[in-house]
Structure 1
Amino acid sequence: MTIGFDHPSRRGLVLGAAAAAMTAGLSTATRAKAPMLRTQSPYYYRFSLGDAEATMVSDGTLPLGDPHTNFLGLSPAEMDAQLTTNFLPLSNAILEQNILILNTGNRMVLFDTGMGSLKLFGPTTGKLLATMRQAGIDPKDIDAVVMSHAHVDHCGGCVADDGTSNFPNAQFYISQADFEYWTDPSKVPASMPAFLDTARKNLLPIRDRLVFYKDGQEFLPGIQALAAPGHTIGHTIFMITSGKDNLCYLGDLTHHPVLLMEKPLTEFAYDTDPKQSAQSRLRMLTMLAQNRIPILAYHFAWPGIGHVAANGQGGFRYYPQAMKMEL
């Protein structure tokens, strides 16, 4: 016997019951609210560089603050135009802290160490050790720590608050000029007490394990120091070679992918010598663009790997490299 639903009242009754059941289900689902977590997961990115394995980890984002007070030499209108064209905020320059760990097969080399426990720029920094462990790397396995310079966000994670080294089996590398300047109270400006304190806290306890590299020196196999002074007196970038691949680690040659690139003579408020820093930036970016050498920028958006090219107007444009899904 076939039962049909052709009778209007019966059809309405069935549909009404179904709708009521769906409404009850939705009402129940709406009431089951999950809390907002307001946290980010630690992140890392691993890729091959010639014969080596490279891992990018993060010390966390660094909110620098109002770009109008940190990047100098552009009119407010010109700066706003550059930022707006590139869909970047006008009120806060958010920098990354992209830290490279290079496993050559013979040694593990860490480039810069982040902020450590210092919260000068807010609570989002100091993630290095956590992201290393997330990436499966034990700090005890680091053989060499290479620092581009002695600012708080590059040397701040060498030593724990109790004075012990975060990388107990590592040799440490930095320029002699930066070590002597940033640990000397008579040289560091009185307006930068956190920079003096952080350098002394992190560099003096490891003084017996510090090696001073020199400009042009291949101080570790496949890692060459290239002096790029101005941001600090001993600021250095590194040309990394493995097999047929090159990668240039820029440190703080340029902090921003737009404001210090489109017009590279724009100055940065934290430079020791802004004029010299701008000239170093122009010289090195010109070399990298002409030779099409991939770059790793410490403060660019994660993971900071890409290329620079001349923009035809005396400046440069940054082209992020697509992340590889396979090693």
Structure 2
Amino acid sequence: MNILSRRALLGTAAAAATLPLLPAAQAAAPLRNELPPAWHRFKVGSYELTIISDGSLPLGETGPAFPSSPAAEVRDLLTGNFLAPTTATLEQNALVLNTGRQLILFDTGMGESMGEASKMFGPTTGRLLANMKAAGIEPSQIDVVALTHAHCDHCWALVDASGNKNFPNAQVAISEVDLKFWTDDSNKRGPAFMTPFIDGAKKNLAAYRDRMIMVQDGKEVVPGVTGFATPGHTLGHMVYFIADGNNVVVNTGDLAHHQILLLRKPLWEFSFDTDPKLSAQSRLKMLTRLASDKHPVLSYHFPWPGLGHVKQEGEGFGWYPASMNVTTL
């Protein structure tokens, strides 16, 4: 080391010794442990669509949910796609369609109408109303609530805990098959979840019984929205084609619950299906159509915001999420 560099180093050290000691760095703020409002807005033709999150829905262990699927194959499919090997968490992606004439909400999420039962999947559900308001949409503005089916995570926010309408100016569109099945106490048999599911559907649908639209296969529900029957998950499960001219997006509801397991293996059975074998056939048929038509798809339970495309690959299908850049408006 030369004389100049030694002197510079010693000078720096001496100067540092005269500086006041600073306190050790500390966290500037507590952890928030909360999520921001979740909504995503895009356009289909002249229509404006807003995906609204009702929060995540932890399904838990995959074994009970996919009882007839080989456990090793389930694990390999999950780990091969960088997912937890034995558990699954679903999302809840509701949709608000603004056609310029009407506001249509597709499915409502879990809500709080059934007290403790509303948290049967944990505390992360029931956020639709708050997220709607954050997106600038008031429940009183909704003209039609179109239900894909009458399960708890799709219709239990029609009313509040006191049975009052959350959407006071809305009609409710549902298939007649689902309306009859999920309000019939004689169907309280089989899996334990059937009793709360039916009690919840009865409470939520009863408030709108004088304002019902019966959805029919292949028929328009409101201008621009056509329902197609995909029975099995429930016997009256519907998907909705939303079209402005040649511009189309398809709301598939619970056609497939998982973007890997039930797309790669569309004939696998799911424990919450009313008729698992019929559901698998409906899933395969509609996924084949969606892959052929190449329409964008909104799936209720796929990773947020559930918007993407389905592509036929081998014996199953691949899921290709849509870009989330701001130019979608």
TM-score class normalised by the smaller sequence: over 0.9
Please report how far the alpha carbon of residue 196 of structure 1 lies from its aligned counterpart in structure 2 after TM superposition. Answer: 1.3
Deviations 1:186-233 (A, max 9, x none): 113262222012101100121111111111111211111100000001
Residues 177 and 234 in structure 1, CA contact (< 8 A), matched pair in contact too: yes
**TM-score w.r.t. length of structure 1:** 0.93
Distance 1:33 1:16 in 2: 31
Distance 1:242 1:77 in 2: 44
Per the alignment, residue 18 of structure 1 pairs with: 16
Percent identity of the aligned residues? Answer: 48
SS of 1:186's equivalent in the other structure is helix
Please report how far the alpha carbon of residue 263 of structure 1 lies from its aligned counterpart in structure 2 after TM superposition. Answer: 1.2
Please report how far the alpha carbon of residue 284 of structure 1 lies from its aligned counterpart in structure 2 after TM superposition. Answer: 0.3
Distance 1:20 1:81 in 2: 62
Residues 76 and 85 in structure 2, CA contact (< 8 A), matched pair in contact too: no
Per the alignment, residue 317 of structure 1 pairs with: 318
Per the alignment, residue 78 of structure 1 pairs with: 73
1:1-327 correspondence runs (5 A): 6=4, 8=6, 11-18=9-16, 21=19, 24-25=21-22, 27-30=23-26, 32-117=27-112, 118-189=118-189, 191-192=192-193, 193-312=195-314, 314-326=315-327, 327=329
Please report how far the alpha carbon of residue 74 of structure 1 lies from its aligned counterpart in structure 2 after TM superposition. Answer: 2.2
Distance 1:316 1:51 in 2: 30
Relative to 1, partners in 2 of residues 1:20 and 1:46: Cα closer, same or farther, differing over 3 Å?
Answer: farther
Residues 75 and 86 in structure 2, CA contact (< 8 A), matched pair in contact too: no
Please report how far the alpha carbon of residue 243 of structure 1 lies from its aligned counterpart in structure 2 after TM superposition. Answer: 3.2
SS of 2:119's equivalent in the other structure is coil
SS of 2:239's equivalent in the other structure is strand
Deviations 1:290-316 (A, max 9, x none): 11111110000011111111112x211
Residues 262 and 268 in structure 2, CA contact (< 8 A), matched pair in contact too: yes
1:197 aligned partner, one-letter code: D
1:34 aligned partner, one-letter code: A
Deviations 1:50-99 (A, max 9, x none): 11111111000000101122023321111111001111112321100001
Relative to 1, partners in 2 of residues 1:221 and 1:19: Cα closer, same or farther, differing over 3 Å?
Answer: farther
Distance 1:21 1:175 in 2: 77
Residues 265 and 316 in structure 2, CA contact (< 8 A), matched pair in contact too: yes
SS of 2:129's equivalent in the other structure is helix
Residues 152 and 198 in structure 1, CA contact (< 8 A), matched pair in contact too: yes
Distance 2:158 2:18 in 1: 63
**TM-score w.r.t. length of structure 2:** 0.92
Aligned residues: 319
Please report how far the alpha carbon of residue 21 of structure 1 lies from its aligned counterpart in structure 2 after TM superposition. Answer: 4.7
Distance 1:188 1:290 in 2: 39
Distance 1:295 1:19 in 2: 65
Distance 2:230 2:185 in 1: 24
SS of 1:65's equivalent in the other structure is strand
SS of 2:243's equivalent in the other structure is strand
SS of 1:140's equivalent in the other structure is helix
Gaps of 5+ in 1: none
Residues 44 and 57 in structure 1, CA contact (< 8 A), matched pair in contact too: yes
2:294 aligned partner, one-letter code: R
Relative to 1, partners in 2 of residues 1:283 and 1:28: Cα closer, same or farther, differing over 3 Å?
Answer: same
Please report how far the alpha carbon of residue 6 of structure 1 lies from its aligned counterpart in structure 2 after TM superposition. Answer: 5.0
